[in-house]
Structure 1
Amino acid sequence: MRLTNVAHLRLPFGRLWGYDVAATPTDRRLPVSFDQRRHVGAGSRGGSWMALSFRLAAPVPRERLSAAWLAVVARHGTLHSAFTPGDGGEPVLAEVEIAPGAWVEHPIGAGQAVEAALREVLDRSCDPYNTPSHRLCVVETAAGPTVVVAADHAHVDMWSMLVIARDLLAALDAITAGRTLDRTPVPAFAEHTRALRDRPLAPEPIRRRWAEILASSGDVMPRFPTPLGDAHPQPERVEVRDVFDVHSSAAFSAAAKAEGVSTLALAVAEMTEATLALADSPLRAVFPVHSRYDATWHDSVGWFITNSVLESADPAPQAAAAAVREAIALGSWPLEDLLRPWGGMPQAPGMFAISWLDLRRLPVRVDAAALDASYVGATIRTNGVMLWFILDESGLHLRCRYPDTPDAREHVGGWLDLLVARLQGRAAPQ
């Protein structure tokens, strides 16, 4: 399944509809996670959402879609909660009662792309402080609808979007077959936030290693090792590259197995080599890891992602594998406590993050090929570099977002060129 940008989504032309639920705030307060506080505390803004789109093979009455959506919202606690600004700028999270609402058509202006109209809807509806900050949309055509589900990042991660899509499709099937809808709640993300606060704090060796890696980056989170131009947020440049087809992906996996490492470790080895070659610097990056520590949370929706740091100075595959293991260990402790000496996450212009998602290994699956499903990112301004790898049955794809400046085009683009060439070289017949 590809990860694309809303501007590159290639939606069919049709009528764009959005479903407005009826939402009633309550005074039932919920705990706020470290990452939620950081994300929502940045304030109301467009472009803070994540989405997933998929196509249905035949027309579906909107009333069925909305009924299925309400069943999904009922199952997942974070989808019936909302943030409000609290005293001192601290976001407050509370439950929201959700009831049936109404479909609203969003006109598409003359000469306006459907993607642009959808972006306006999601930027407005999925604002961090909207109640609720999620939205079901559908583009209706004679051939069938394209469904888009979106939510502010404070309530979802990429795994969660698969859960939402799977549950929505299951609810549609139940409605079509005349079965009772499953509204049984699954463990809510708020329960995970409470559980995380009870976990042991990081031991001294973990704290020391965090401090060493941050010190190597100037006491901030790792940054891209070459200049990106103006440090102020710039319009983003988004590149989506197909790295491997299914055959090359199998060859790369075989090469990793021959080295005795994972595909991720071999990819980190190649990223390390590319960084050393172009920047004469170790690979250092923010490295998101999931916090679904056990099967309790596999079917839950929420921001089950925490950040770690990856440092890889040796391009040997076994050394890269050790660097990955260390990054996972560094991200396995409560982050709020770990980063307290820096006053929270010490972000700086140029922050470099690498995300790896192997959809083949997740316990939640949808038929992405049959659904023509895509992860969809928002359009933003940025001063950092974010790289996503998506590995699935069709191969390996990457999406990279960086500031659209001459320096970033040259340096990030050149790094991507070298990296893709090296990855494909590993998968080439010997």
Structure 2
Amino acid sequence: MRQFPLEMHHVAPGRVVEWRLRSTAAEACGPDDEPGRRASFNQEKHFNVAEESRAADDPVASWIAVTFEVAGRLDEPALAQALLAFVQRHEVLRCAFRRLAGELACEPFDPAELALEAETVGAFETSGALRDFLVERFTRSIDTLSWPLFVMGAVLREDSATVYLAFDHIVCDGMSMPIVVHEVLTAYEALCRGEESGLPSAAPSYLDFADEQRRRYLSIDARDERLDYWKEFIARGGEFFPRFPLDLGVEPDRMYPIVNEASTLLDAAETEVYEKTCLAVGGKPFMGVLAAVAVCLREAGGPGVYRGLMPVSERGREGWGNSVGWFVNTMPIEFDASPGRDFAQVMAGVRAGFNEMISHIDVPFVRAWELLAPEEFAARSWPYPVNFFSYIDMRRCQGAGRHDEWRPSTHVWSARANGACSWFQRDAGGLHMNSLYVDTPAARRTMGDFQEALRLTVQQIARSGGFRRPVALTAPRRPERTPLDAAAGYGR
């Protein structure tokens, strides 16, 4: 399971059916009701940005989508039942968000009040026309300020189907996507056999996670000692947000259309060797990738000390592993990648920096941002290009043993940005990279050089056990960037 632009996904044409979520109740709660639940820090900041952008007639837009395959002729009633059971199982998917007395209320509909209505959208004769429809459909339909906060549908053919779901970030994160695939298909297959779905009626709720987080951190102030790690990071760098160190050609206070690119860095065999190389020097594969990123940035003109933000999942701490929601904290990480340090030395720095970061993971990023950088917190976006690194090993996700059969893929999209973000995924097919960055001539040159240098660097590490030469300065440019191999075809 890998992440790449929806525009790169080859979905065979067919007849499109969608299932629209409806409530049999007029509203989640009456207009005079007091809020029963509060949104999380992540959700409230996301909603605030959407409100402020709408008021300024400068709306932001983004979505997270997942697609997967069903073999054989689709049983439409069974899939509809599986989709409804999935929505009923996760409380955050049943929520409507609204302002009440200045607070963002997060009010769930009762599961028994929900129903799905099937609608035939139409038949598409070509993959290109279908892909254009899906991109437009997700972009037009996903709206943070409107319920429901996701769309569900399928492309039906005589002998197969492609199922798709697209969500607003306010109800999920990237690690939610494997849960979607596993639960919907597990329930669907059981229903096709005439059995119950095989899943408990309710998962641990993200709303409970949000309540607990607010109880622990809403009352802290900037003097709280739990913010010391952030304060020390800021003192060393001079800013709350660590800057992306290469030239992207952006102007202050301006947002740009984005480039969304994906490619494979290492195939399956190379990735296995890469992992062994990382383990041999006391690190993990994600640490090796981060070490390679730091060296490539340095060789391209960045500083010797890597400073960046890294999202960290909070699912494993209290048993939220099978829950849908936005279980992500974003933390700063810092380590030495200066010239002359070999792979083992840089890896040791990554390991020490990561361990130090994890020991201070408790304080939510949004709360630290609000308390330590209040002027920047008031803005609708990060203030400048920020150094950002994300890594997920999809082989460890729920249902990964059947990913070769289900062929799931994740797709992210954003209308505009002012910097660059890169996500790395490892799956059974190897190590992959997806980058979103501003569409400027400088950014295209910078990111093209960086991505190719990174590819050569990780290949060198896999083949020779370390850094052998200043890759970013001597790496030849490829004549053409190749598209992802058959998109989600997994080697077919």
TM-score over 0.5 (shorter chain): yes
Q: 1:146-199: per-residue Cα shift (whole Å, max 9, x none)? A: 001221111111221111211111111121111123451111000011122344
Do 2:150 and 2:168's aligned partners in 1 also have CA atoms closer than 8 Å?
Answer: yes
Secondary structure at 2:247's aligned position in 1? Answer: coil
Shift of 1:274: 1.3
Question: How far, CA to CA, are the matches of 2:89 and 2:359 in structure 1?
Answer: 32
Once residues 233 and 428 of structure 1 are traced to their aligned partners in structure 2, the CA distance between those partners, rounded to angstroms, is: 40
Instruction: Find the aligned partners of 1:295 and 1:277 in 2 and give their Cα distance.
Output: 41
Tell me the percent identity: 24
Q: Secondary structure at the match of 2:158?
A: coil
- The whole-number CA distance in structure 2 between the counterparts of 1:268 and 1:101 is 44
2:480 equivalent in structure 1: none
Cα 1:48–1:407 change in 2 (3 A) is same
Q: Work out the CA distance in 1 between the residues paired with 2:376 and 2:38.
A: 19
SS of the residue 2:159 aligns to: coil
Q: What is the one-letter code of the residue matched to 1:17?
A: V
**Match of 1:26, as an amino acid?**
A
CA apart distance, 1:259: 0.6
1:392 aligns with 2:427: yes
SS of residue in 1 equivalent to 2:359: helix
Q: Distance in 2 between matches of 1:173 and 1:361?
A: 22
Name 1:305's counterpart in structure 2: 328
- Residue 335 of structure 1: which of 358, 365, 368 is its match? 365
Q: Is the 8 A contact 2:179 2:398 kept in 1?
A: no
Cα deviation code 1:286-310 (max 9, x no counterpart): 1100112435211111000111112
Structure-to-structure mapping, 1:331-370, within 5 angstroms: 331-339=361-369, 340-343=371-374, 346=377, 347-362=382-397, 365=400, 367-370=402-405
Conserved? CA contact 1:119–1:378, under 8 Å: no
TM-score where L is the length of structure 2: 0.81
Question: Could you say if the C-alpha distance between residues 220 and 412 of structure 1 is closer, same or farther in structure 2, counting changes exceeding 3 Å?
Answer: farther
- Counterpart-to-counterpart distance in 1, 2:311 and 2:228: 19
Distance 1:236 1:327 in 2: 30
Match of 1:207 among 222, 227, 234: 227
1:283 deviation in Å?
2.1
Alignment partner, residue 267 of structure 2: 245
Cα distance in 1 for partners of 2:414, 2:430 equals: 25
**Which secondary structure does the structure 2 equivalent of 1:185 belong to?**
coil
Shift of residue 99, structure 1, vs aligned partner: 2.2
The yes-or-no answer on 1:53 pairing with 2:67 is yes
1:357-394 Cα shifts (integer Å, max 9, x gaps): 01233455352221121011124221121110101222
RMSD: 2.5
Residue 206 and residue 427 in structure 1: after superposition, are their counterparts in 2 closer, same or farther (change >3 A)? farther
In the alignment, which residue of structure 2 is the partner of 1:377? 412
> Whole-Å Cα distance in 2 between the matches of residues 367 and 80 of structure 1?
28
**Structure 1 length normalisation: TM-score?**
0.92
Distance 1:393 1:205, change over 3 A: farther
2:43 counterpart residue number: 36
Measured in 2, the distance between the counterparts of 1:104 and 1:46 equals 28
State the Cα deviation string for residues 65-88 of structure 1 (Å, max 9, x = none). 111101111111111112134565
Task: String of CA shifts for 1:240-266, please: whole Å, max 9, x gaps.
Answer: 111111111111111111111111222
8 Å contact 1:309–1:331 — kept in the other structure? no
Of 92, 96, 105, the match for 2:120: 105
CA 1:301/1:278 → structure 2, altered by over 3 Å: closer, same or farther? Answer: same
State the structure with more CA Rg: 2
CA separation in 2, counterparts of 1:395 and 1:345? 38
Q: Give the distance between the partners of 1:319 and 1:203, measured in 2 at CA.
A: 29
Moved more, 313-322 or 359-368: 359-368
Secondary structure (helix, strand or coil) at the match of 1:30 reads coil
* Compared CA separation, residues 224 and 336, structure 1 to 2 (3 A): closer
The alpha carbon displacement at 1:203 in A equals 9.2
| Distance of 1:384 and 1:91 partners within structure 2 | 29
Task: Indicate if the aligned counterparts of 1:126 and 1:135 stay in contact, CA closer than 8 A.
Answer: yes
State the alpha-carbon separation in 1 of the partners of residues 349 and 223 from structure 2.
Answer: 24
Q: CA deviation at 1:239?
A: 1.8
> Which residue of the partner structure matches residue 105 of structure 2?
92
Go from structure 1 to structure 2 and tell me whether the alpha carbon gap of 1:206 and 1:276 turns closer, same or farther (over 3 Å shift). Answer: farther
Structure 1 alignment gaps of length 5 or more: none
Moved more, 197-206 or 419-428: 197-206
Partner of 2:87: 73
1-side partners of 2:324 and 2:352: how far apart? 31
2:475 matched to which residue of 1?
none
Residues 74 and 156, structure 2, Cα contact 8 Å, conserved in 1: no
| Counterparts of residues 256-335 of structure 1 (less than 5 Å) | 256-281=278-303, 282-294=305-317, 296-314=319-337, 316-335=346-365
Rounded Cα–Cα distance in structure 1 between residues aligned with 2:232 and 2:450: 25
Determine which of 214, 217, 227 is the counterpart of 1:197. 214
- Give 3-state SS (helix, strand or coil) of 2:410's partner: strand
